[in-house]
Structure 1
Amino acid sequence: MMTETTEELSFNDNALVGQLYGELNRNLAIIEETSGVGIQVRGTTVTLKGSEAEVALAASALRKLYELLRSGYPVYPADVAYALRVLAASPKAVLTDIFLDKVYITAEQKVISPKSLNQKTYIDAIRRHDVVFAIGPAGTGKTYLAVAMAVAAYVNRRVKSIILARPAVEAGERLGFLPGDLAEKVNPYLRPLHDALNDLLGPGKVAQLLDEGVIEIAPLAFMRGRTLNDAFVILDEAQNTTSEQMKMFLTRLGFNSQAVITGDVTQVDLPPEKKSGLVEAQRILKQVKGISFCEFSDADVVRHPLVQKIIVAYQQATGSKKRPATRPASASRRKSGQDATTATRQES
């Protein structure tokens, strides 16, 4: 029989305690449901009851979320879920080091920051390396954070242009049968990149920078023959590049430029006879100095709470949680024992 333990926490700032508990104690409800503890509140004192592991996780989350609030970070219900997920995977993690790492502040004053240990590792890798590969499932922030880093680099005058590329590969559709000219045909493939830029800069600013040629969004094929200097270059959906296309893209990099390549090797839409350039790059380039490989898992999903559950369900259906491609030596391999997204609302 599991032994129940009790721990009492006291906080001294009434205003911050209200934010810590959340509207109608919603943040506490998330902690209860996710960690399994029972929570009783009396003023600024919180009593936790449950197993030793459950109480330790909940207490750590409350203390560290309170420190975030004291540092001026506004804690939303989704942040509580992210915090629990991080601490379940790494109990000694310092949330202020992760959540207070401001990548960029959007046109609507939303702070873009990492929400998991792997996202923090990814951001740091982009700061330190000229070429970074980000590999993992949908919803883990690979592309969005890369675009945020590109915008920050441009705003801080570290680069003169932002170039975003995607391979125009059909996912069950036929490009040739779409209506319109070439630009209209490929636009649906580039829409996610437009969406990220609009969120970060605002549609008006994005339109202006596109007109000025500062931002370029184009199919990968348009990169052939070019040398990209003073640029932050992102290749999205890289699992759908061929070996030749990946080599072509990587050799476009010029002086004072850096590249981020993102993709999910479980969602390759190439014909069976074509080898994914991303899978091959993992094998060929993993030992090359100056190149960093960052790997994400379902624990890093920051979309709707159900997205993480969907990814896990598909992994279980195929009989393994491992990626089908060779795992890069430098990839972070953390597992989370908790589903920290229960009953939460996606805030970012």
Structure 2
Amino acid sequence: MNYLIEPAGKIDSNQTPGRLAIRAERIRSGLEPDVTASDTTQMTPSTERQSDPQSADTSSVIQTERTYVLDTSVLLSDPRALFRFAEHAVVIPVVVVGELEKKRHDPEIGYFARQALRLLDDLRVKNGRLDFAVPVGAGGSLRVELNHSNMTVLPSGLQLGDNDSRILAVAQNLANDGLDVTVVSKDLPMRVKASSIGLAAEEYRAELAVDESWTGLAQVHVGADDMSALYETERLPGTHADGLPVNTGLVIHSERGSALGRIASDGSAKLVNGDREVFGLRGRSAEQRIAIDLLLDPSVGIVSLGGRAGTGKSALALCAGLEAVLERQMHRKIMVFRPLYAVGGQELGYLPGDQGDKMNPWGQAVYDTLGSVVSQNVVDEVIERGLIEVLPLTHIRGRSLHDAFVIVDEAQSLERNVLLTVLSRIGQNSRVVLTHDVAQRDNLRVGRHDGVASVIETLKGQSLFGHVTLTRSERSAIAALVTELLEGTEIA
């Protein structure tokens, strides 16, 4: 039962009936102190409590609290987002619970939907119900909103009856009650819709990369004596590279010339042989030569290759796989996983044919790249011997990938949790290479600063991880020009 608390004297402009009713609910839930507790009058349905005019101003509590309305994309990205909004109120529209239920068995994000539902159920068991605010996090609250669903508060163009419209209706109705409402979403169109009706809209930022500009390379300037020592001992003396993450590539300059290096696991800078080849492919730039050094080092279990189209990411990864499988026989096969966003966003099940036919549009891109760096005889041999598999990413959950050279292509379209799930599948005697171009994201729930960029930031400095951003296009002058023009239009 809701009780309306009416303070004595003039009601502040912020103390609307909606705000006061919500505050009364928070007092009963123990989420807010009752500043009128000194009044011993028993509150009953027929008795209103009269507050002391000299008591503390309660409007400040309401003014400093924000109400965050979360959509489904936030909980699929981070199920523990429920607890990450400090002292503020988190509202989950009931339609979000329904969307999570529908996603439970999705092969890519079903795990995160189930985890979010389990966390909500744990809160339900602990508190009895969730349609009233329950305490979470650092003094915050959470509730599943069953009401505030009247869609007439939305412009006619948004009264579509879909789930986005239902979430926006909840947010708008709460805002009309006087609450400071912000819609939080990983979905770009959702944020645009919310802003179009005057609601504050934010991207979920808890897992954004702090420094997405890290390229994996650093420029170092040394004296002639240090350069001589580097070539003699294959180690760079002094403190020139102190503080750089493990496996950072170095372009070392001196008056005597230049050299390449890499930060070893002990923190020292070691010389890199720039003439190394990977299955006949030689690096044409400093970035590619550092990438080859990382790819040929079996102690670096996760290699990330970023860069715009045509810089050689996929070619380097495939040649490294052929080197490891055919030449060195370190792994049994190459496994290439690709997300299913590329061909018009069609679901795999709706494409004609069996799995092989369905995967042709995705697999052909891999074979095209392979054919550009090796002869057709090698391509035919690899296919005939079953040394390479091209699979949709939906097939990775539940598998342990042992004795394989794994390539995750187009990783920029994967959400952070999905990408971490992929990495968790890597088994004994396996390595993984991530190739990505953040300017070519097909998944609107992934921004420039999350997804693979966030994973790179998390893994940076680990001895098992190395990253290089490739910058020089090797495809053609046309491809380089068009890519540069397209990147100039990138705004998010």
Please give the TM-score of this superposition, normalised by the length of structure 1.
0.56
Question: How far apart in 2 are the matches of 1:94 and 1:286?
Answer: 23
SS in 1 for 2:296: helix
Structure 1 pair 273–241 and aligned structure 2 pair: CA distance change class (3 A) = closer
Question: Contact (CA 8 Å) 1:99, 1:115: kept in 2 or not?
Answer: no
Q: 2 CA distance for matches of 1:305 and 1:207?
A: 30
Q: State which of 338, 342, 361 in structure 2 corresponds to 1:166.
A: 338
Correspondence for 2:293 among 124, 127, 135 = 124
Report the counterpart of residue 361 of structure 2 in structure 1: 188
Work out the number of aligned pairs and report it: 224
Alpha-carbon separation, structure 2, partners of 1:304 and 1:251: 37
Aligned equivalents of 1:254 and 1:225: distance in 2?
Answer: 12
CA distance in 1, matches of 2:481, 2:441: 21
- CA distance in 1: counterparts of 2:274 and 2:479, whole angstroms: 22
2:482 to 297, 306, 310: 310
Counterpart AA for 2:452: L
Partner of residue 403 from structure 2, selected from 227, 230, 237: 230
**Aligned runs of 1:112-261 on 2, under 5 Å?**
112-128=281-297, 129-154=300-325, 155-170=327-342, 172-175=344-347, 178-200=351-373, 202-203=375-376, 205-261=378-434
Contact 2:439 2:490 in 1 (8 A): no
Q: Counterpart amino acid of 1:290?
A: L
Which SS does the other structure have where 1:115 is aligned? Answer: coil
Structure 1 counterpart of 2:460: 286
Q: Is the 8 A contact 2:303 2:467 kept in 1?
A: yes
How far the C-alpha of 1:211 sits from its partner, in A, is: 4.7
Distance verdict in 2 for CA 1:312–1:195, change over 3 Å: closer
Paired letter, 2:445: P
Given that 1:239 and 1:276 are in contact with CA atoms closer than 8 Å, whether structure 2 keeps it comes out as no
Aligned partners of 2:371, 2:480: CA distance in 1, in Å?
25
SS of residue matched to 1:266: helix
CA drift of 1:150 comes to 0.7
| Cα shift readout 1:240-298 (whole Å, capped 9, x = no counterpart) | 1122321121011122211110000111111337895313212322233310111122x
Do the aligned partners of 2:401 and 2:427 also contact (CA within 8 Å) in 1?
yes
Residues 114 and 120 in structure 1, CA contact (< 8 A), matched pair in contact too: yes
1:204 offset after TM fit, Å? 5.2
List gaps (5 residues or longer) in structure 1. Answer: 1-86, 106-111, 325-348
How far residue 175 of structure 1 moved from its aligned partner, in angstroms, is 3.8
CA distance in 2, matches of 1:159, 1:220: 20
Structure with greater helix share of residues: 1
Contact 2:412 2:436 in 1 (8 A): yes
Structure 2: 5+ residue runs without aligned partners?
A: 1-250, 261-271
Q: Residue 201 of structure 1: CA displacement?
A: 5.1
Cα pair distance change 1:113/1:273, threshold 3 Å: closer
- Cα distance between partner residues in 2 of 1:205 and 1:104: 11
TM-score under structure 2 length normalisation? 0.41
Give aligned-pair identity as a percent.
29
Secondary structure of 2:445's aligned partner? coil
